[in-house]
Structure 1
């Protein structure tokens, strides 16, 4: 395995400046994990505000019950025992629960979290444990119900898990039956090529769904199978037991909702005044809270002093909403702007691992942290990779292609290469023939027009038909050339499908199971052995 940095264009301007020019955007954030001084300051602040957060023992017990069910590795129990002790800090990462863990970047986020916690513990000389926050309260089923793999023929294939009910409910509460699991696992089994690791990989997948009644539970079981041995604690934000411990923060989010709204608006103004675009909506009157009514997750906003949803399905005064919270805390849920505040209340968060999109919108709640007596945690850019398999690397060398060429699209270079294989110069000769024919024929047509006006139009039509026939033969010759170079063109296609499937970065499309099936479970250990890099630089992994 050879790892080489590869600068990557794209991403929001705010995320790019956070990664490459932190001095320009530091005023929009709470600190940079890459600074040893920031780490020490954040740790000291967490020590001094221990009493402002949820009770450690209660949180640890709640997480212990959850992880004993889905992630019971002894290393996780050790992490939880440490978390229970005053002074232990946490590095968090998180994502929605995707099918078979979702795209590769979820795996890279977990790896970043584990490595950052280990590094921080060594630097600070105190326990720092890794935790993965599963956003099971999110309701965007269509975003998480599918994944992509390369099949045996090297084609991009989509696997999709359907749900029985068309209801806007949290992903963790959407039931997935045994029959649905068997069907989707069978499809994956058919798509993955046979390998020495396949029986083991498929067994892990089957075990993950055996007791899982939802996508979130299967996700937790799989993530535990992959990362439990590294002490990675799992948390489902939709866990009813956790929700009861979150009541004091939900109470603050309701009671201080107007102040929070003002803080979001002010921070949004600072971001746009600094020349950046907002990466999450900051809506006037938005409560930034969800209420679950008859299984449907409703986004609340404020209207004439009441909390209601856009359709008016529910309506509460502030006091009534607080009464609902006291009676039924499981009916409440955070959105993207209040979840960071809740995470900071539940856990002593030293730092949180974010992708570029998240990194940009996390600047919005910066001032909101202060409203509820918190401070924004440090932010770590998620590590980012593209895996280049051995044969693929050889093909790229053969055609003198770099990753930058693939990013830009290979159509132009592929045509150039194919043209270079034309030893007879057919393309040039066909174009010369058409030009020569037109040069000879057009004067004749003009002369015919002097004899009879109708011959001018007839001659022009005749010329176009002859040129069409020449072009037809040219296309046939081009097809023959492509047929002659069919094996090579398949190699070009495989490069593009592997590194930029569907026009996106590999890590945003493909599922880890393809690579575990190819290289075995030890491949994760190899990834974790790659030196940590929190600069946000994309890296190529040449297998």
Structure 2
């Protein structure tokens, strides 16, 4: 593949908030610690403290999780060493990896770890994929798109999705679709639950690059987070701190991405993940009959911390508590909502990571590339509105002035001359002339549309090409990376992941255009 990079603000894909962060606008600096430049990692390494005890717990849990899945990772052992740090991305447990940008997040993270090792050879850098095993929004993860088809896993299971069993519906979906690669089949059909399946296939795809998959839903890891769980349920400080940061950001014109609650933990049990709220002197589990006194909750936190699941406010803090982490890589919404959390990190004395935009890319296959070339489109023009492009294309290529500008000018000259003439006869006739002008304008505009439609038929071949280009790059008006599954390209070229690895630069925040070299195996 051939790579071209363009400024992200040329694509229209990102919010002002996100672009302002990338371009290091002064008004956002109070909301983060260090901007992600390669030279700033020296300070981040020097200031990142992480207890050896935590390293032992982390490595032990990960080794056990991998062993239960029949896997090994040499990178896990590095986490015990005091000169080892992590760089992290996180994502839901989407079926068959879900949208393409999931792959982009991981490749960006791996490449960052490799770049840091070259720059700071005295240290180890382990790329981490944090599995959102405790998430309970199954509808967001139970499908993927390929070749215009949507494949769905139907299940009535409830609770944390990482604990979902590989049921008969999923097994049949896997068995009935021959295009699914063997490593996916093995991961899903030989695993006890969804969390293990995702661990297995992500390790197959990226384990050799040193990636470590972390499932934070573990008693020993959450025991390290007990003081924060107790504090949030009793003192409820995070809510006020995030509200304060959010208000400050909103005064700067930025919209909030997350909304804290008084208590930012769910109650987690088999088939259950529900909010914890305080009412009538008790801690109530929403949508259940479960309620506890503070004494009962406190004993539960100490004995079974795994029953407390952090929400979107507390999950980043939990991650940074149990990992020796330097940077988090995410999409626009993720980077933005982390900026709302800086004061929470400061309150709990937890190091705030560098926030890094993951790489954003668009893959242009051979057929689409050929159509783009035939129309003479630039990379920037690919991103413009299709209706606007069609209008401009017809106006530029038609032998006629489809807007009838010259004709309108001449008719207006005649009408203005007529107005002056009728003034000499009867001033009230000017109104009639103005009404006539309005009617004529409508007739001309209507006729202009007819000419445009006729020319669109004459240029139907070009318009059809643009429709095909738009469908390939913005299917259903969604950016390609948020719609297609990576199998769309991997099945055509098994070197697809390695090419991403070779071409992505996690410290270059421009938008990447990847054009096929024509070696795909599948049309």
- Scaled by the length of structure 1, the TM-score of the pair is 0.78
Tell me what 1:31 maps to.
Answer: 34
- Alpha-carbon distance between aligned partners in 1 of 2:401 and 2:70, rounded to the nearest angstrom: 64
Tell me what 1:542 maps to.
Answer: 515
Contact 1:71 1:234 in 2 (8 A): no
Of 170, 188, 191, which residue of structure 2 is paired with 1:180?
A: 170
Shift of 1:214: 3.5
- Alpha-carbon distance between aligned partners in 2 of 1:244 and 1:343, rounded to the nearest angstrom: 14
- More divergent stretch after superposition (224-233 vs 267-276): 267-276
Tell me what 2:500 maps to.
Answer: 527
Tell me what 1:274 maps to.
Answer: 252
Tell me what 2:113 maps to.
Answer: 117
- Alpha-carbon distance between aligned partners in 1 of 2:483 and 2:29, rounded to the nearest angstrom: 32
- Alpha-carbon distance between aligned partners in 2 of 1:56 and 1:32, rounded to the nearest angstrom: 26
Contact 2:219 2:304 in 1 (8 A): no
Structure 2 CA distance for partners of 1:69 and 1:396, relative to 1, 3 Å? farther
Of 211, 219, 222, which residue of structure 2 is paired with 1:232?
A: 211
Matches within 5 A, 1:103-182: 103-124=99-120, 125-149=122-146, 151=147, 156-165=148-157, 167=158, 169-182=159-172
Task: Give the root-mean-square deviation of aligned CA atoms.
Answer: 3.2
Tell me what 2:239 maps to.
Answer: 261
SS in 1 for 2:309: strand
Contact 2:31 2:339 in 1 (8 A): yes
- Alpha-carbon distance between aligned partners in 2 of 1:426 and 1:377, rounded to the nearest angstrom: 56
Shift of 1:422: 8.5
- Alpha-carbon distance between aligned partners in 1 of 2:476 and 2:281, rounded to the nearest angstrom: 47
Shift of 1:126: 0.6
Tell me what 1:438 maps to.
Answer: none
Shift of 1:478: 7.0
Contact 1:300 1:310 in 2 (8 A): yes
SS in 2 for 1:212: coil
Tell me what 1:220 maps to.
Answer: 199
SS in 1 for 2:263: strand
Matches within 5 A, 1:42-441: 42-47=44-49, 49-50=50-51, 55-70=54-69, 72=71, 77-124=73-120, 125-149=122-146, 151=147, 156-165=148-157, 167=158, 169-184=159-174, 186-187=176-177, 189=179, 202-238=181-217, 242-256=218-232, 257-283=235-261, 286-292=262-268, 295-303=271-279, 306-311=282-287, 313-414=289-390
Contact 1:205 1:222 in 2 (8 A): yes
SS in 2 for 1:246: helix
Shift of 1:103: 0.7
Contact 2:274 2:287 in 1 (8 A): no
Shift of 1:112: 0.9
Structure 2 CA distance for partners of 1:481 and 1:246, relative to 1, 3 Å? closer
Contact 1:268 1:282 in 2 (8 A): no
- Alpha-carbon distance between aligned partners in 1 of 2:194 and 2:313, rounded to the nearest angstrom: 24
Shift of 1:531: 4.9
The one-character-per-residue Cα deviations of 1:92-117 (angstroms, maximum 9, x if unpaired) are 11100111111111101001111111
SS in 2 for 1:287: coil
Shift of 1:316: 2.9
Contact 1:107 1:512 in 2 (8 A): yes
- Alpha-carbon distance between aligned partners in 1 of 2:160 and 2:224, rounded to the nearest angstrom: 22
Contact 1:255 1:318 in 2 (8 A): no
Shift of 1:72: 2.7
- Scaled by the length of structure 2, the TM-score of the pair is 0.81
Shift of 1:4: 1.1
Contact 2:342 2:352 in 1 (8 A): yes
- Segments of structure 1 that go 5 or more residues without pairing to the other structure are 190-200, 429-466
- Alpha-carbon distance between aligned partners in 2 of 1:14 and 1:414, rounded to the nearest angstrom: 30
- Segments of structure 2 that go 5 or more residues without pairing to the other structure are 405-442, 517-523
SS in 1 for 2:48: helix
- Alpha-carbon distance between aligned partners in 2 of 1:36 and 1:305, rounded to the nearest angstrom: 51
SS in 2 for 1:40: helix
